[in-house]
Structure 1
Amino acid sequence: MKRMGIGLQMYTLRNETAEDFEGTLRKVAAMGYEGVEFAGYGDIPAERMRELLDELGLKAIGSHIGLHLLENNLEDEIAYLKTIGAKYAICPWLPVEARDTESWRKHLVSFEQFGKRFREEGITFAYHNHDFEFEVEIDGKIVFDALYERISPEYLQVEMDIGWVQYSGIDPVAYVKKYAGRLPLLHLKDFRGGEKGQQIDTVELGNGDLPLSPIIEAASEASVEWLIVEQDVCANPPIESVATSMEWMKANYLNKFE
């Protein structure tokens, strides 16, 4: 198995970073996470963020950048990413009013434009899914697949959220394999209970229903670069939840490389 990096999507610790961003990053590094994916920077200047990451030995994987920022603040976003040495820019979410078929046709055009601009600066643009990308079709294709069929890989890569893939009724291992070579980032999370349209619980890795070990094996074979831990909602204190997930990764993944 190829060794992939282990990162954390900082959205999981959004409440903690709102109170103490730098202190929270220190705790994340101490747990053994190797990289972080941002979802906002807590008003920390890019130069200071770069210094902090260097001090802690954390890699800046990339950042989730909302559609409104991609549309209205693209150059500033590029400048920040370049300063902290991040390789990826990811659109993480679309508002409800921007998810119908006609809106998606427009996104196909704008995403390609974003991807071209990021590529000019040495940054890779990617899209992060939830479940709604599997509920709308464009010309007979579900949106998730249409995105990657119509936009060149040089302008759009996949950040697959494996929890939402399974929740949508799709075999997560098969979907990882389907996008091999175009899937540098995999959001690793665990869900417990709930069929499509029902209540689900997001839980620490190993406490849910996803076949995590086969998913990780498939990710390695698919040339995934980063396994990124994310827990949308935590029943336990979030800082404890991400520590628990990291301990699962040490016991079930990192131990294979010792």
Structure 2
Amino acid sequence: MGALKIGLQLYTVRDSAEKDFEGTLRAVAAMNYEGVEFAGYGGKSAEELKALLTELGLTAIGSHISLEQLENNLEGEIEYLKTIGARYGVLPYLQENDRGSDEKWLALIEKLERFGEAFRKEGLIFGYHNHDFEFTEKLDGNYVFDTIYEKVSPERLQVEMDIGWVQYSGLDPLAYIAKYKGRLPLLHLKDYRKGEPGEQIDTVELGQGDLDLPSIIASAEEADVEWIIVEQDRCANPPLEAVKTSREWLSENYKS
């Protein structure tokens, strides 16, 4: 059990990154984030991005890669990750037309096997990032989330657990972290306040929502998580200000 490393999913600051990708990375590095997880590369070549990350002292954790990109440019995505020194490629989300039936989930599982094998052969790690629908839909009598990991081998698929969505779905986040010990290198810390039924999830800065973050972080250490990754879907405050607040909360409340 080692100290957790602290990263940021750059989707959180997507508006800033779209206007000034390099400036956004510089701001994130100045906040003492140790690494970043990408959701797009700001139009930079892999070589350019590698040089910038080296200059800033930021680790490339990995990248969120859409199903369409994985299907149409798998080799290119893998090569880009290798060049920037990243270890993880993660499928972050499924559109509604890619899920919702046993047939669609089974087809996805076949794809996850294929993608994961391609990553494994190149020395990289493939993962899947959950939302809430993996806990509202079932396959083979279990939540889809669990069935996916039962059917795809750990060598081909690791867990990137979004702990906010786990709790939002009414499940015990500490139990789920413990359940996937040894297969859970990446944990997304997404704090939120649960509103009225039917409302969108209200994501907030760390420490301002419903999650028992100290217990979650302690459980992550016990489960051999490598990276805890800050992510906020929508920010009431300016996103760069929000992720700075979250990083400061971690500095004050987590001593590695």
- Per the normalisation by structure 1, the TM-score is 0.97
CA distance in 2, matches of 1:196, 1:215: 25
Match of 2:96 in 1: 96
Letter aligned with residue 68 of structure 1? E
Match of 1:243 in 2: 244
Note the 1:1-258 alignment, pairs <5 A: 2-101=2-101, 102-194=103-195, 197-253=198-254, 256-257=255-256
Letter aligned with residue 85 of structure 2? G
Check the 8 A contact 1:186/1:224 in 2, yes or no. yes
Letter aligned with residue 229 of structure 1? V
Check the 8 A contact 1:167/1:196 in 2, yes or no. no
Letter aligned with residue 121 of structure 2? E
Structure 1: runs of 5+ lacking an equivalent: none
What is the Cα-based RMSD across aligned positions, in Å? 1.0
Deviations 1:25-59 (A, max 9, x none): 00000000000000000110000000000000000
- Secondary structure of the structure 2 residue equivalent to 1:12: helix
Task: Count residues with an aligned counterpart.
Answer: 255
CA distance in 1, matches of 2:190, 2:147: 24
Letter aligned with residue 134 of structure 1? F
Letter aligned with residue 191 of structure 1? Y
Percent identity for Structure 1 against Structure 2: 64
Check the 8 A contact 1:176/1:219 in 2, yes or no. yes
CA distance in 1, matches of 2:212, 2:38: 26
What is the CA distance between 1:200 and its match in structure 2?
3.0
Deviations 1:181-230 (A, max 9, x none): 00000000101122664343100000001010000000000000000000
Check the 8 A contact 2:168/2:194 in 1, yes or no. no
- Per the normalisation by structure 2, the TM-score is 0.98
What is the CA distance between 1:139 and its match in structure 2?
1.5
Check the 8 A contact 2:11/2:39 in 1, yes or no. yes
